[in-house]
Chains A and B, each alone.
Chain A
Amino acid sequence: GAVVSQHPSRVICKSGTSVKIECRSLDFQATTMFWYRQFPKQSLMLMATSNEGSKATYEQGVEKDKFLINHASLTLSTLTVTSAHPEDSSFYICSARPGGDNEQFFGPGTRLTVL
């Protein structure tokens, strides 16, 4: 089956620093990757859609200058949380969709804690 990995699984950082999260499709090429954020006991909220070789499409209310997304290859997308603050602490989950396929495969998530 299709496998998506994320790194790191957990990260703790100080307020004001930037954190990069990687999302990789291990056994398929993903033309589209998605980034979600999930606060405790809440649903997954789509932050942005990342297409290989083009700019990401951000959902309403998501600051593109704060959450930088780079989808440089068909197997890797990165999310950088810039100048992180405690309110950015959350569970960040990526998913990837193979070309021509509607099904999304989810990564294991990255738990970010900003002190």
Chain B
Amino acid sequence: GQSLEQPSEVTAVEGAIVQINCTYQTSGFYGLSWYQQHDGGAPTFLSYNALDGLEETGRFSSFLSRSDSYGYLLLQELQMKDSASYFCAGDATNKLIFGTGTLLAVQP
């Protein structure tokens, strides 16, 4: 089957850097996406890794290693508004498979 595992919760302080990991067990993912979801809202796209390595988009960076079936999302200069759920999502044939999700709590 296809599964993507994430830590359930992460807590960090404002201004800090936090890394959210995603490990997956599957074959055939074309890439790994990251989404942010605030409580009651829709997921919003953050980043996509089609190739191994680091992709940087402002305060957010994402990394993928296919050989390790592993990726992470790095959030820098944390702000209170970054408190949300974060999901990795494997890009399978014609569909996304979402990870278990990580609830990030940013504290003052």
Q: Which residues of A are in contact with B by a Cβ distance under 8 Å?
A: 32, 34, 36, 41-46, 49, 91, 93, 95, 102-109, 111
For the A-B complex, the count of residue pairs with Cβ-Cβ distances under 8 Å equals 43
| CB closest chain-B residue, reference A93 | B42
Q: Which residues of B contact A103 (CB under 8 A)?
A: 45, 48
Q: Which residues of B are in contact with A by a Cβ distance under 8 Å?
A: 30-31, 40-45, 48, 87, 91, 94-101, 103
Q: Which residues of B contact A46 (CB under 8 A)?
A: 95-98
Given contacts A34-B96, A102-B30, 5 further A-B contacts (CB under 8 A): A34-B95, A43-B101, A46-B95, A103-B45, A108-B42
| CB closest chain-B residue, reference A1 | B45
| CB closest chain-B residue, reference A46 | B95
